[in-house]
C-alpha cells in the first residue's frame, strides 16, 4: 500500500493545510480523501453554530455548555472541513493556553472531535498532528471507561489519574507538568451530561474533556 501526503501552507486570514490522503480500502484500490485543515486564532473566525452542531453529532447528542464560547478563550481552533469554501465542518479541536506564572507554560486541548461518518479514516490523527505542530507542550484528559484510553496512552509521553479523569501530556516536565495536571483535574466540564447518565460511544475518536466523549480524544 502506498500513502501520499501533499501539504501546501498558505497564510491568508488563517493558516491552511490541504492534505490529499490515500487509504487502502480493498486489494488494489486506493480511496482519496481530501482534508482541508484551518487553524483559526479565535472563535470569531469560525461559524460557532456549525461547530456546535459538529460537536453534538460527534459526541452522540451531547452539547456544549451554553456559555462555552463566552467562557473559553482558545489559543487556536483547528477545523477539518469539506466543500469548495470549507463550509462543511467534519472535525476539529479547541486548544487553550491558560495564563500561568512566569516559567510555567502549556496548552490544554479541550476538544477533539470528528463527525461519525468521517471517523476511522485518519482524520482524528491528522487533526491531532496539527495540534502537535502548534502545541509541543500539551495536556488533555478523558474519563475512565473512554474507549480511546489505550490510544491516548500510546500518543502521550505519560499520564496520571484521579477519581474522575485520566490526564495525559506530551512535552511537559517539572512545574509546567504539575500545573497542567492541576488545570486538567479542576477544570469544569464543558459538555452537557449524557442522557440517562450513559455516555454514548460511536466509531470515531474521543474528545478530551469529558468521557465517552465520543469522538474526540
Task: Kindly report, residue by residue over 93-146, the tens digit of the pLDDT.
Answer: 999 999 999 999 999 999 999 998 888 778 888 999 999 999 999 999 988 767
CATH code of the domain covering residue 119: 3.40.630.30
For residue 183, tell me if it sits in a domain: yes
Q: Is residue 13, in this structure, part of any structural domain at all? A: no
Mean pLDDT, to the nearest integer, of 166-174? Answer: 97
Is 9 part of a structural domain of the chain? Answer: no
d(CA 80, CA 92): 6
| Any domain includes 120 | yes
CA dist., res. 35 & res. 68, Å (int): 27
Task: Note down the domain range covering 124.
Answer: 41-197
- Greatest extent of the chain over all pairs of C-alpha atoms, in Å: 55
Q: Is residue 72 part of a domain?
A: yes
Whole-angstrom Cα distance, residue 100 to residue 97?
9
16 pLDDT more than 50: no
Please tell me the pTM assigned to this model.
Answer: 0.77
Instruction: Give the chain's domain count.
Output: 1
- Using alpha carbons, list the distances in angstroms from residue 191 to 27, 33, 60, 74, 159: 41, 30, 11, 16, 22
Amino acid at each position: 500500500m502506498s500513502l501520499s501526503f501533499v501539504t501546501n501552507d498558505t497564510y491568508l486570514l488563517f493558516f491552511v493545510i490541504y492534505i490529499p490522503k490515500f487509504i487502502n480500502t480493498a486489494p488494489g484500490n486506493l480511496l482519496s480523501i481530501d482534508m482541508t485543515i484551518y487553524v483559526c486564532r479565535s472563535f470569531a473566525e469560525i461559524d460557532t453554530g456549525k461547530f456546535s452542531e459538529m460537536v453534538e453529532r460527534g459526541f452522540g447528542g451531547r452539547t456544549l455548555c451554553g456559555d462555552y464560547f463566552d467562557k473559553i478563550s482558545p489559543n487556536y481552533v483547528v477545523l477539518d472541513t469539506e466543500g469548495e469554501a470549507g463550509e462543511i465542518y467534519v472535525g476539529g479541536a479547541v486548544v487553550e493556553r491558560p495564563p500561568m506564572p512566569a516559567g510555567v507554560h502549556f496548552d490544554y486541548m479541550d476538544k477533539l472531535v470528528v463527525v461519525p461518518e468521517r471517523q476511522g479514516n485518519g482524520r482524528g490523527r491528522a487533526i491531532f498532528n496539527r495540534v502537535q505542530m502548534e502545541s509541543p507542550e500539551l495536556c488533555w484528559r478523558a474519563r475512565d471507561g473512554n474507549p480511546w484510553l489505550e490510544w491516548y496512552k500510546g500518543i502521550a509521553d505519560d499520564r496520571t489519574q484521579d477519581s474522575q479523569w485520566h490526564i495525559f501530556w506530551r512535552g511537559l516536565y517539572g512545574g509546567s507538568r504539575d500545573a497542567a495536571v492541576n488545570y486538567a483535574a479542576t477544570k469544569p466540564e464543558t459538555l452537557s451530561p449524557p442522557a440517562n447518565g450513559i455516555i454514548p460511544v460511536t466509531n470515531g475518536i474521543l474528545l478530551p474533556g469529558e468521557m465517552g466523549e465520543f469522538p474526540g480524544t
